[in-house]
Amino acid sequence: MAVAQKSVPRPLHVDFCGLSLDSPIVLLSGCVGFGEEYTRIEGFSNRDVGAIVLKGTTREPRLGNPPHRVCETPAGMLNAIGLQNPGMDKVVDEILPQLDFSETRFIANVCGSTIEDYAAVTRRFDDSPIDAIEINISCPNIKEGGVSFGNYPEMSAKVVAACRAETKKPIIAKLSPNQTDIRQNARLCIEAGADALAVINTIMGMAIDVEQRKPVIGNVRGGLSGPAIRPIALLKVAQVYEVAGPKNIPIIGQGGITTARDALEFIIAGATTVGVGTALFYEPLMCTKINDGIADYLKRHKMSSVSELVGSLRL
């Protein structure tokens, strides 16, 4: 069982889409299962994080991609899990009732192969205790030959609009870095009804077994995460903030965050909250250290809250 941690200092409280979070840290989708994986680790507490994004959920159950699904790379990791999940009905009916919503906020991650899929899964989560819904618009659109929704601003906006029509819960659009202009995508997603933006999703990459002369990942390509993508993610957050900041649309800044300094960079660039994912695989208790580091920075700079630091980059 998890051991109760000290309460998070008040300066770390943030308002995110009307939700009061105890910490600016958000645990990212795919890295903590359906919220239960890390509760088995001694010393971990959900109270150390502001929110947990659950594993990607689709309309019907999915087995995911063939192995290998994960490959360690220099300063990062490739993954191609393929959205393995039990389907929306089992998640809502069996998994959500087991989560302790008094400890932290839980955010659903909605995936689909068609706009209709996204709308159906969003509608299912709307009738649930989930706090917010993240739209994973980097999924391939099977009606368009496998083209990713997230790489085209107009398609991204159509998905967001369809989901917006199905729920009153906060909607977070998860933006892909694999596109020409992420600012235009952010702008159209906001206009379509997104309440927040998650910046960024993984970057496409691959690895090759030189002896076999074959791809290491069974799906050939996978999403690259970890410190290797941090400078790219930081730039994308700064760019999206140019669009989202004036409209008071909060950003979850994510991509290779492993320390309090990393988190502070993203907050200064414009992120209201910061996502931690890949780093949890080798240091599951780092959230406490990041919280402490942010709190110490605020104290040293005589700031009373994280919000004072958001978007404070001096150009």
Burial of residue 33 (CB within 10 Å: 0-12, 13-18, 19+) is: middle
CA dist 98 and 211 (Å) reads: 46
Q: What angle do CA 225, 231, 236 make, to 5 degrees?
A: 90
How many angstroms separate the Cα of 234 from the Cα of each of 221, 240, 253, 267?
Answer: 23, 10, 8, 9
Each residue of 270-288: b (16+ CB within 10 Å) or e? bbbbbbbbbbbeeebebbb
d(CA 303, CA 57): 39
How many Cβ atoms are within 10 Å of 299's Cβ, its own excluded? 12
Residues contacting residue 90 through CB under 8 Å, at least 6 positions apart: 61
Gap between the Cα atoms of 62 and 82, Å rounded: 8
What six digits make up the tokens of 203?
């970057």
Is residue 139 annotated as part of the catalytic site, yes or no?
yes
- Planar angle of CA 50, 51, 54, nearest 5 degrees: 165
> How many C-beta atoms surround the C-beta of residue 268 within 10 A?
18
3-state DSSP helix/strand/coil % of the chain, to nearest 5: 35, 20, 40
Amino acid at the residue 117? D
- From 17, 111, 139, 287, active-site residue: 139
How many CA atoms within 13 Å lie on the side-chain side of 56? 22
The 3-state DSSP class for residue 209 equals strand
Residues annotated catalytic, as ranges: 139
